[in-house]
Amino acid sequence: MIVGVPKEIYPKERRVALVPAVIPNLKKAGLDVVVEAAAGIGAGYPDAEYAEKGARLAANRAEVFQTADIVAQFLCHGANDKTGSTDLPLMRKGQVVLGFVRPLGTVKTLQEIAERGVMAFSVELMPRTTRAQSMDALSSMATICGYKAVVLAADTLPRIFPMLTTAAGTITPARVLIIGAGVAGLQAIATARRLGGVASAYDMRPAAKEQVQSLGGRFVELPIEAKDAQDARGYGKAQDETFYQKQRELLGKTVAESDVVVTAAVIPGKKSPVLVTKDMVAKMAPGSVIVDLAAERGGNCELTKPDEIVVEHDVTIIGEFNLAAAVPYHASALYGRNVSAFLQHLVKEGKLNLDMKDEIIRETLVTQDGEIVNARVREFFGLPALAVKV
Ligand SMILES: NC(=O)c1ccc[n+]([C@@H]2O[C@H](COP(=O)([O-])OP(=O)(O)OC[C@H]3O[C@@H](n4cnc5c(N)ncnc54)[C@H](O)[C@@H]3O)[C@@H](O)[C@H]2O)c1
């Protein structure tokens, strides 16, 4: 089977879905790789490196889609909501398309993909099991985002992070608050600590406390308890407005005392809760920085502007989308390994192995034979359940 890697076409996207290092393993698994010329260049992987590892280079995108049994992308149509639709006419019936699909985004894009007759696999729907861990692209990207959020904040803050004792006086360390201690939040804690900042974090899931503490962060305890804070997949569950209101009241003082706030409290498929209001921002010291990792879903901060950096009440609020794309070399390296593991799971002895009893296959397959087939996605969009094929 042939895996095709087109160049990413989202504006300014520099990442690439497969890196040269994973090609030998794919070849061992019976997969040949075709890469569009210059697909990896923006991430620091020149064509020559792909060729050296045994990939064939294709002159253009159409050739990749024409040749490939499986097309591996970062942002497929759906996740690429700007230029992704240009791939639709290139898709071939029976072809596999794999990558970020934004399965809980809009049903129209999923239907458009389904109508092309392709089998689309969404990496966002990867189950959170030990077996699937090597294929968990969401965690890979969240790790990079958490790191980059703190590096950006450190670069913007008019203070330095570490405590310094010098002949010219003592400098106190930067106080960094992380709201939402999932994968991104935990990486933000680790990065803030490495830079010498004092990190504290809050999450509504009680299980997060131990993880925050194990990274040397202080866990902010609030005297409220979320109802069913966590779903079966380990994701936070949406709460009602009364709960969020209480959270805002209780978080006010801690936010005001922080130099940097990184917000990463997201709920899959839902608008993110507002946890930092404009009044809370106004009480922060001038020069403080907020990095809102939830910006793409409406933001955790009331003053966040989608995909922009704004200054309000002398506080810089960074709402840029997709920070992982700003670290293309390592984002591609991690994603490439996730995709490679996924491909080796999908293909057995050179053939597609669509074992629907396997939860990794069943839960990530979104479209097949012209239909949206994923049970979770159908339920999310209120589509009737499909009859089980026997
Ligand atoms: N394979 C695996 O077992 C696996 C893989 C990935 C993540 N995880 C775990 O799953 C958990 C969630 O990680 P994630 O990165 O997917 O999270 P996420 O990106 O879905 O959400 C970020 C965090 O925000 C928190 N949050 C949401 N609303 C909030 C609110 N109103 N107030 C405070 N916090 C709020 C959530 O509890 C979550 O921890 C973590 O414990 C992570 O370690 C496990």
What is the greatest pairwise CA distance in the chain?
78
Half-sphere exposure of residue 160, counting CA atoms within 13 Å on the CB side? Answer: 8
- The residue-averaged pLDDT of 2-26 equals 97
What integer pLDDT is reported at residue 167 of this predicted model?
98
What integer pLDDT is reported at residue 267 of this predicted model?
87
Residue 123 in contact with ligand 1 by CB distance below 6 A: no
Q: What is the Cα–Cα distance from 34 to 307, expressed in whole angstroms?
A: 33
Please compute Rg for the chain using Cα positions.
22
Residue 239 pLDDT greater than 80, yes or no: yes
**Which of 377, 339, 367 is CA-nearest to residue 99?**
339
Ligand 1 atom at shortest distance from the alpha carbon of 184: 15
SS3 sequence, 263-294? ECCCCCCCCCCCCECHHHHHCCCCCCEEEECC
- For 31-61, what is each residue's pLDDT tens digit? 999 999 999 999 999 999 999 999 999 999 9
The count of other CB atoms within 10 Å of the CB of residue 93 is 10
Told to judge if 128 belongs to the known catalytic residues of this protein, a careful annotator would answer: yes
CA 300 to chain centre: 16
Query: What average pLDDT does the chain have?
Result: 96
3-state secondary structure of 190: helix
- For 301-321, what is each residue's pLDDT tens digit? 999 999 999 999 999 999 999
CA 110 to chain centre: 19
Protein residue with its CA nearest to atom 1 in ligand 1: 128
Protein residue with its CA nearest to atom 26 in ligand 1: 265
Q: What is the Cα–Cα distance from 103 to 123, expressed in whole angstroms?
A: 9
3-state secondary structure of 324: helix
- The residue-averaged pLDDT of 246-266 equals 95
What integer pLDDT is reported at residue 70 of this predicted model?
98
Protein residue with its CA nearest to atom 38 in ligand 1: 182
Q: Which residues contact 167 (CB under 8 A, 6 or more apart)?
A: none
- For 262-286, what is each residue's pLDDT tens digit? 999 998 878 999 999 999 999 999 9
DSSP bridge pairs for 169: 166
3-state secondary structure of 181: coil
Residue 205 in contact with ligand 1 by CB distance below 6 A: yes
Q: What is the whole-number distance in angstroms between the Cα of residue 127 and the centre of ligand 1?
A: 14
14: left (phi over 0), alpha (psi -120 to 50) or beta: alpha
Ligand 1 atom at shortest distance from the alpha carbon of 265: 24
Residue 208 in contact with ligand 1 by CB distance below 6 A: yes
- For 74-97, what is each residue's pLDDT tens digit? 999 999 999 999 999 999 999 999
pLDDT band at 253 (very low <50, low <70, confident <90, very high): very high
**Which of 339, 386, 317 is CA-nearest to residue 141?**
339
What integer pLDDT is reported at residue 389 of this predicted model?
62
Angle formed at CA 66 by CA 62 and CA 71, multiple of 5 degrees: 90
- For 368-382, what is each residue's pLDDT tens digit? 999 999 999 999 999
3-state secondary structure of 22: helix
Told to judge if 235 belongs to the known catalytic residues of this protein, a careful annotator would answer: yes
124: left (phi over 0), alpha (psi -120 to 50) or beta: alpha
Ligand 1 atom at shortest distance from the alpha carbon of 180: 24
Angle formed at CA 153 by CA 291 and CA 45, multiple of 5 degrees: 95
Told to judge if 259 belongs to the known catalytic residues of this protein, a careful annotator would answer: no
Angle formed at CA 308 by CA 303 and CA 312, multiple of 5 degrees: 35
- The residue-averaged pLDDT of 161-171 equals 97
CB 365 within 8 A of CB 121: yes
